[in-house]
Amino acid sequence: MTKVAIIGASGYTGVELARILCNHPHITLTTVTSRQHEGSPLSRVFPNLHKKVDLICENLSAAELCSRADVFFTAVPHKTAMDIVPQLLAEKKKVVDLSADFRIRDVTVYEQWYQKHTSPQFLQEAVYGLPELYRDQIRSARLIANPGCYPTSIILGLAPLLKAGVIDPQSIIADSKSGTSGAGRSALVGSLYCEVADGFRAYKVADHRHTPEIEQEINLLGGCNVNISFTPHLLPISRGILSTIYARLDDGVGQDQVRDLYREMYDNEYFVRIMPTDAFPATQFVRGSNFCDIGFKIDPRTGRIIVMSALDNIVKGAAGQAVQNMNLLCGFPETAGLEGAPFFP
Amino acid sequence: MTKVAIIGASGYTGVELARILCNHPHITLTTVTSRQHEGSPLSRVFPNLHKKVDLICENLSAAELCSRADVFFTAVPHKTAMDIVPQLLAEKKKVVDLSADFRIRDVTVYEQWYQKHTSPQFLQEAVYGLPELYRDQIRSARLIANPGCYPTSIILGLAPLLKAGVIDPQSIIADSKSGTSGAGRSALVGSLYCEVADGFRAYKVADHRHTPEIEQEINLLGGCNVNISFTPHLLPISRGILSTIYARLDDGVGQDQVRDLYREMYDNEYFVRIMPTDAFPATQFVRGSNFCDIGFKIDPRTGRIIVMSALDNIVKGAAGQAVQNMNLLCGFPETAGLEGAPFFP
Amino acid sequence: MTKVAIIGASGYTGVELARILCNHPHITLTTVTSRQHEGSPLSRVFPNLHKKVDLICENLSAAELCSRADVFFTAVPHKTAMDIVPQLLAEKKKVVDLSADFRIRDVTVYEQWYQKHTSPQFLQEAVYGLPELYRDQIRSARLIANPGCYPTSIILGLAPLLKAGVIDPQSIIADSKSGTSGAGRSALVGSLYCEVADGFRAYKVADHRHTPEIEQEINLLGGCNVNISFTPHLLPISRGILSTIYARLDDGVGQDQVRDLYREMYDNEYFVRIMPTDAFPATQFVRGSNFCDIGFKIDPRTGRIIVMSALDNIVKGAAGQAVQNMNLLCGFPETAGLEGAPFFP
Amino acid sequence: MTKVAIIGASGYTGVELARILCNHPHITLTTVTSRQHEGSPLSRVFPNLHKKVDLICENLSAAELCSRADVFFTAVPHKTAMDIVPQLLAEKKKVVDLSADFRIRDVTVYEQWYQKHTSPQFLQEAVYGLPELYRDQIRSARLIANPGCYPTSIILGLAPLLKAGVIDPQSIIADSKSGTSGAGRSALVGSLYCEVADGFRAYKVADHRHTPEIEQEINLLGGCNVNISFTPHLLPISRGILSTIYARLDDGVGQDQVRDLYREMYDNEYFVRIMPTDAFPATQFVRGSNFCDIGFKIDPRTGRIIVMSALDNIVKGAAGQAVQNMNLLCGFPETAGLEGAPFFP
């Protein structure tokens, strides 16, 4: 059994990692850290884990951590990740980093949207952990930059069209809607039940930090150099992202050809499910699972294709994809620990 | 006191009309009809109206109806409206029709999206009941086609830009999200709590019947002839619509100029509230009111403007706007009965 | 026009007071205070109030406050109220205090459940602001202790039975469920959307500070001296309280007699609505209104009566009842500003 | 691999059975039936099952069914179960019946609350499928009457106290609150999103059919013959039941003694989790799992104990408990297929 640790276990991504890992057949979760809850059983912080995870939250040095595990999930804010990850790598550990710190290959772009990068030497080495695009590189990597939740939904939705060159990348508009768990477990007025429930709004319009991450992968896939429109919204649900993506489709490209492109790319991808014709994805049908459901509609009146992509933001958009990456890193079956069907209702 | 009747009082639009009208200072609600609930007090169907509306649901002929009131709200499905409205007009009654039957001026377009029109002779006479655009015509009309909820949000959001000619109408994409009351009170599996709650999805993608209504008004405002992209989504909230609208902005048009366009058009419009710079509207801040809140963001990276427009779909998107139209029709103060501030939380 | 101020306007009770008062026909809202938001327009803190309330949040001394208004709503935490209220009274102002500080007549009991009381001299003078019980005293009072939300629902539900002496007070069990706005607008992890949504739990079991307030009024009404069971629960809704109350009913007391007791007490009470036989109240039918809906069921199998009482916790349970008290204090019609029907859905 | 069929797969209990069984290590799901959806893939009816369950809904005779499987889950309404179950038993099949038809041992009581019973000969043979009480009998049974959701929560909550004889059974009051999935997938106005969301109410007060089932087990456990008060409420959540249960505690019984009683009975029960002192269960911490979380509080002021019991109504309250029963029937490990940790948030 491979020994695994979660650094930063007291957020919603942390608890979801623990939920998935506690039933994983090939690993043992040995360590969970939390500065805030140091000394408390994780199952007191998150009573859902009672009888499932029997670990105390610790606050450990990098050296102590390295004695505990071989694979690490860093579920800490960006900037904090930058500090801890190099220390783990120096001890030959494998790391799946769930922050944004190693996702952007161009340090200038990173620093423009985030802040000064103190470990830019790892930016080229880190593999962007989207297995559907980078499976082989992930297998042999030691540092995985686990993708953002919005980027996962948008990139998976567009990849077949971009690779085939059938849409105009310049025309891409991604209108995304996320559940509130994406805002984290910080005690902020804007995340209170009464502020979010029975309501809906956009935020960080034309200004969200996932934009350069989305653009990086779109430009790599499409062999282009474009800026796209990306608008995040806050949904009154706990889990789930739906991205509605618009692009101008090349003349003469029809329903069958597009369907074939999706099939070609995803028929062997277990975690991507293509919807039947004229059925559209819904967040409630991926809830709690690592699936990304994709549907599309061609609108001959406007010459646009509308792609819809749904996933659970803390599973395929975070913890589940991280475990999928660990499985590849460690040579486990890719679906290990991730076989649970979505729960509905 | 003007005598008023609601035809079709047992849906969500009907109960909202009753809620607003029961405190209106210049009218008396004399009659409410419902085939399904004939003989029941409306306050048994909707216990919120107990002590507020003391009427029995009736099932009346057009002749009987005409003896009861001078102004009628027809809150019945399209096609049903087409049958009853001409009979009321024949008796010199004034009608605010909340169905789609008289909104589309071009009968060919109507029949393409709906069904055969049996009273096309009223299509030119009917006034599209968006007071911010057609106030004067409404004042002297006898038949008001009360706008759809999605169209109200989108048209109000775009009108200043289209009139000024600063956006490319061909580029318009409206990504709209509506609360579930928009689906009506019919007992459908898709509207059940467990199907909607904690979920989100698009529906009728590139296929929704509000599309021609939106295009009609956009083309009138912009002096153009375009098709637009419109995608409705179902939100797990009861009330509220937020439309996120994208369009290419002409080069050189800046923040101040756009703000001035909105001010010019809406500064004297009580029910339109322009958000402060970098603040965006949210459905939870218009809940229960007749306000439409509008905000925008210019994105220099893509050359697009993103306009956001929020309203309560059963107030400004239906019953409230209908009362606003009645106020104009009858010469009452435009805000009569509609002064209540939005409920938050 | 009477000049009115809200001390502590930045909580959910504050915004609701502002919402109600901005349309009140007999008063002018002159002042709103908030230490945290000093200098901000209240409509920036609560955008629902845009175009309705045009006041800046201030942080004022008692002397400054007294120059601004004649009637004050103190919507501040207990203990803070104790400090400010005596200063206002000293200047001959009228005060409706929404905290718990003046609700308990027995200082020993107060200090046992809360903390040291620094102004016990006002405990006898303060009138418990439940108009259905103390209307006459309220009319001539200068200090109103506005009741708690849970106590209002429970006391109104039981009063007719206790006055008639047909239940055993010792047997009373009140199982109450409240919307999350009752927890206030403080940024607490326990109040986050993701912690509350799609969930339900009890809290402060056999330990909630509203217990002595409920017992005080039950014992006064029933001429007894009992302790009762009271269990509050947190509902995943924003507004609303439903109390389900159990008591042993005297042998031989039947449906008609009980109904008569409720009618006798409440038929002339505008804000109490007795449900028809076998219909039960629901929070969604009082939402946004000052109504308290009451229903009951006699269970011959167990000899118990089950009383259900529903109200909106921030209207009849706080701000609305406070305005009702102000109306009585000032000689306005009791329903002024409170005529709005509940909004459904 | 044991062959298993679900009769009545198109309800919420059916889809949950399919979700659990599709990953069960010891069985193969061979057949799912649905009259309404005959001919459709189950994964079209419930898209969450796409790639997980590859079966078509069928409408089969009893004879056909018997050729398909060895163990049957009957997830059909009461009365329908009564017809089909005897036919399966006649062919030596094992049946876990999720309806109410075989739960009540006394046919007179059954007929008083439900309707005429056409197969009373099985009432004595059927084993009430609460493994924590009847594990041994379940192991050797051929017909399991799977308990109701409310009864499971209440009986598990009270069992240790009743067995020890430390409470007065006559004093029991169970105030229960259930998620809306308990109302099933029927298209009823009362189950619509807009009727349930942001609301709360009691229903079938002193009149719910789970009452005799609860009383049967309470009387067996306590060696008594009492009627209890049971009030169900409808929560605006999809999954979850919380029962708050009140009873008079014998004098002198303290915290430690009560805790010992719970430990004694449940320490070896995997699916019952006793909360730490002064922590109370919440439905959000059992969501999607087969756990029942139980907490209690002794109130010396009133002499009562308050027990709280939380479970997921369609897992431990239906499908999960049914699988637990199947595991026992078939000699599989009791937790097979049920190891998933609860989902939070």
Residue A218's nearest CA partner among A168, A267, A260 is A168
User: Is D238 near chain B, with CB under 8 Å?
Assistant: yes
**Whether residue D115 is found in the same domain as residue D248:** no
> Do the domain assignments include residue D175?
yes
For CA atoms C105, C106, C109, C112, the dihedral sign is positive
Are D192 and D96 members of one domain? no
Is residue D326 a part of any domain in this protein? no
Q: Does the beta carbon of A229 lie under 8 angstroms from any beta carbon of chain B?
A: yes
Q: Single out the catalytic residue among D22, D57, D66, D149.
A: D149
In this prediction, residue C202 carries a pLDDT of 98
Which pLDDT tens digit goes with each residue over A182-214?
999 999 999 999 999 999 999 999 999 999 999
Query: What is the number of structural domains in chain B?
Result: 2
Is A185 within a domain? yes
**Do residues D223 and D188 make contact, with C-beta atoms less than 8 angstroms apart?**
no
Q: Return per-residue pLDDT of chain D as tens, 345 residues.
A: 999 999 999 999 999 999 999 999 999 999 999 999 999 999 999 999 999 999 999 999 999 999 999 999 999 999 999 999 999 999 999 999 999 999 999 999 999 999 999 999 999 999 999 999 999 999 999 999 999 999 999 999 999 999 999 999 999 999 999 999 999 999 999 999 999 999 999 999 999 999 999 999 999 999 999 999 999 999 999 999 999 999 999 999 999 999 999 999 999 999 999 999 989 999 999 999 999 999 999 999 999 999 999 999 999 999 999 999 999 999 999 999 999 999 999
In chain A, residues 151-190 whose CB comes closer than 8 Å to chain B: 173, 175, 177
* B48, B197, B293 member nearest C342 (Cβ): B48
Same domain, A98 and A183: no
Q: What is the pLDDT confidence band of residue C222, given thresholds at 50, 70 and 90?
A: very high
Q: What CA–CA distance (Å, rounded) separates B304 from B306? A: 6
Contact D187 B188 (CB under 8 A): yes
ipTM over 0.95 threshold: yes
Q: Are residues A94 and A170 in the same domain?
A: no
Contact residues on chain C for D239, CB-CB shorter than 8 A? 198
Q: Does residue C51 come out as left (phi exceeding 0), alpha (psi in the -120 to 50 range) or beta?
A: left
CATH number at D77 reads: 3.40.50.720
User: Within this chain, do residues A40 and A166 fall inside the same structural domain, yes or no?
Assistant: no
Which of D171, D172, D175, D307 is best to mutate for the C interface (most C CBs within 10 A)?
A: D175
The string of pLDDT tens digits covering residues A314-324 is 999 999 999 99
Q: For position C57, what pLDDT does the model report?
A: 98
- Compute the nearest-CA separation of D185 from chain B (Å): 7
Within this chain, do residues A93 and A211 fall inside the same structural domain, yes or no?
Answer: no
C107 and C154 share one domain: no
- Chain D CB within 8 Å of residue B226 CB: no
| Residue D342 within a domain | no
**Per-residue pLDDT at C165:** 98
CATH number for the domain spanning A210: value is 3.30.360.10
CB contact under 8 A, A48 and D19: no
Please say if D149 is a catalytic residue.
yes
Looking at beta carbons, which residues of chain C come within 8 Å of D112? none
CA–CA distance, C156 with C309 (Å, rounded to integer): 8
CB neighbourhood size of C68 (10 A): 15
- CB C205 to CB D280 under 8 A? yes
CB contact under 8 A, C197 and A12: no
Please tell me whether residues B209 and B296 are part of one structural domain.
Answer: yes
Residue contact C180–A193, C-beta within 8 A: yes
> Does the residue B345 lie in any domain?
no
Given A149, A224, A292, A330, which residue is catalytic? A149
Q: Which of residues 265-304 of D touch A (CB under 8 A)?
A: 270, 273, 275-276, 279, 281-282, 284-289, 291, 293
User: What residue of A is the nearest CA neighbor of B206?
Assistant: A299
- Cut 0.90: pTM above it: yes
> Which domain covers residue A102, as residue numbers?
2-125
Interface residue of C167, C193, C244, C297 to substitute, partner D, most D CBs within 10 Å: C244
Q: Do A194 and C185 touch (CB under 8 A)?
A: yes
pLDDT of A4-53, one tens digit each? Answer: 999 999 999 999 999 999 999 999 999 999 999 999 999 999 999 999 99
> Tens-digit pLDDT profile for chain B (345 aa)?
999 999 999 999 999 999 999 999 999 999 999 999 999 999 999 999 999 999 999 999 999 999 999 999 999 999 999 999 999 999 999 999 999 999 999 999 999 999 999 999 999 999 999 999 999 999 999 999 999 999 999 999 999 999 999 999 999 999 999 999 999 999 999 999 999 999 999 999 999 999 999 999 999 999 999 999 999 999 999 999 999 999 999 999 999 999 999 999 999 999 999 999 989 999 999 999 999 999 999 999 999 999 999 999 999 999 999 999 999 999 999 999 999 999 999
What integer pLDDT is reported at residue C80 of this predicted model?
94
Distance in angstroms (rounded) separating the CA atoms of residues A202 and A195 = 13
- Enumerate the residues of chain B whose CB falls inside 8 A of the CB of residue D48: none
Please tell me if residue D36 touches chain B, with a CB cutoff of 8 Å: no
Q: Does C246 touch chain D (CB under 8 A)?
A: yes
pLDDT digits (tens, 9 = 90+) for A257-267: 999 999 999 99
Considering the domain boundaries, does residue A100 fall inside one? Answer: yes
For an interface test with B, give the residue of C48, C52, C53, C242 to mutate (most B CBs within 10 A): C48
Neighbouring CB atoms inside 10 A of A103's CB total 25
What's the confidence (pLDDT) of residue C261? Answer: 98
Amino acid at position A268, single letter: N
- If asked whether residues C119 and C155 sit together in one domain, one would say no
Contact residues on chain B for D191, CB-CB shorter than 8 A: 192-194
pLDDT digits (tens, 9 = 90+) for A85-134: 999 999 999 999 999 999 999 999 999 999 999 999 999 999 999 999 99
Per-residue pLDDT, D336: 98
Which residues, 6 or more positions from A76, have their beta carbon under 8 angstroms from its beta carbon? A7, A8, A84, A98, A99
Token pair in block for residue C259: 């109904």
Cβ <8 Å between D197 and B12 = no
Is the same domain home to D24 and D154?
no
pLDDT confidence of residue C138 = 98
- Residue A196: list chain C partners with CB under 8 A: 193
Tokens representing residue B194 in the block: 């467990």
Whether residues A309 and A253 share a domain: the answer is yes
Q: Is residue C167 a part of any domain in this protein?
A: yes
Q: How far is B342 from chain C (nearest CA, A)?
A: 5
Same domain for C155 and C261? Answer: yes
> How many CB pairs lie under 8 A apart between chains A and D?
94
Three-state helix/strand/coil letters over chain D: CEEEEEECCCCHHHHHHHHHHCCCCCEEEEEEECCCCCCCEHHHHCHHHCCCCCCEEECCCHHHHHCCCCEEEECCCCCHHHHHHHHHHHCCCEEEECCCCCCCCCHHHHHHHCCCCCCHHHCCCCEECCHHHHHHHHHCCCEEECCCHHHHHHHHHHHHHHHHCCECHHHCEEEEEECHHHHCCCCCHHHEHHHHCCCCEECCCCCCCHHHHHHHHHHHHHCCCCCCEEEEEECCCCCCEEEEEEEEECCCCCHHHHHHHHHHHHCCCCCEEECCCCCCCEHHHCCCCCCEEEEEEEECCCCEEEEEEEECCCHHHHHHHHHHHHHHHHCCCCCCCCCCCCCCC
Q: What is the pLDDT of residues B112-132, one digit of tens each?
A: 999 999 999 999 999 999 999
| CB A138 within 8 Å of CB A131 | yes
Residue C328 lies in a domain: no
Q: What residues of C act catalytically?
A: 149
d(CA B148, CA B214) in angstroms, rounded, equals 9
| Chain B residue at shortest CA distance from A285 | B199
Task: Choose, out of A13, A185, A193, the residue to mutate when testing the contact with C (most C CBs < 10 Å).
Answer: A193
Pair A266, A155: CB distance under 8 Å: no
